[in-house]
Amino acid sequence: MNKMKKKQFKQLISGLAVFTSRFIALPPNFSPLGSFGFFSQNIFLFFGNIILFDLIKGGFYDGFVFVYLGFFAYYLLGKLSKNNLRKQLLFLPISSFIFFLISNFGVWFAWYPHTLQGLFKCYLLAIPFYKNTMLGDIIFGYGFFGIRCFIERSQKNNITVPIQSKLLVDLVMARIKSS
């Protein structure tokens, strides 16, 4: 299997895993979806995942376009970070925050009074969801990133030992130094 097909196959498997995870009883907004969009850089698979889930679960509602625009921030900032570790470490949480701002602007626009008080109330009530979004992005995003670093490094050095904390830290630190 050539490199391109292997990469596409890995993205497809990852996309299916992310899609399946959305049916698991996780806390609201705690999902690998945002970090998948950030790291996979396959906009068709990312938005296909979102749209298919919304078709199945009835996710189209007043203001859903703002949610999609918020999700686009993950893709865009992932694209801007390229393979630069420092940028990835910085841009993933920023993506979460942009998603929070844009998607909840849509919630305010669709369901709250169009006043400054309505806007503040909307964002205030959304903070628990933002916490879950940020935690999901950090846990899944940095977890995927750490696993990917480990696999790349172990393949490069023919390491066959199980993942150990020190090794993972060494891999991440080496990646930071090389960026």
Segment 36-69, tens digit of pLDDT: 999 988 999 999 999 999 999 988 888 899 999 9
Q: Say if 16 falls within a structural domain.
A: no
For residue 67, what are the domain limits? 28-178
How many structural domains are present in the chain?
A: 1
The pLDDT value recorded for residue 119 is: 98
> Does residue 12 lie in a domain region?
no
Q: Is residue 22 part of a domain?
A: no
CA-to-CA distance for 142 and 128, rounded, in angstroms? 21
pLDDT tens sequence across 93-103 = 999 999 999 99
Q: Which residues contact 2 (CB under 8 A, 6 or more apart)?
A: none
Assess if residue 11 is contained within a domain: no
Residue 111 domain-assigned (yes or no): yes
Total-model pTM: 0.82
Q: Please give the backbone phi and psi of residue 58, each rounded to the nearest 5 degrees, phi first.
A: 70, 45
Distance CA 29, CA 128 (A): 9
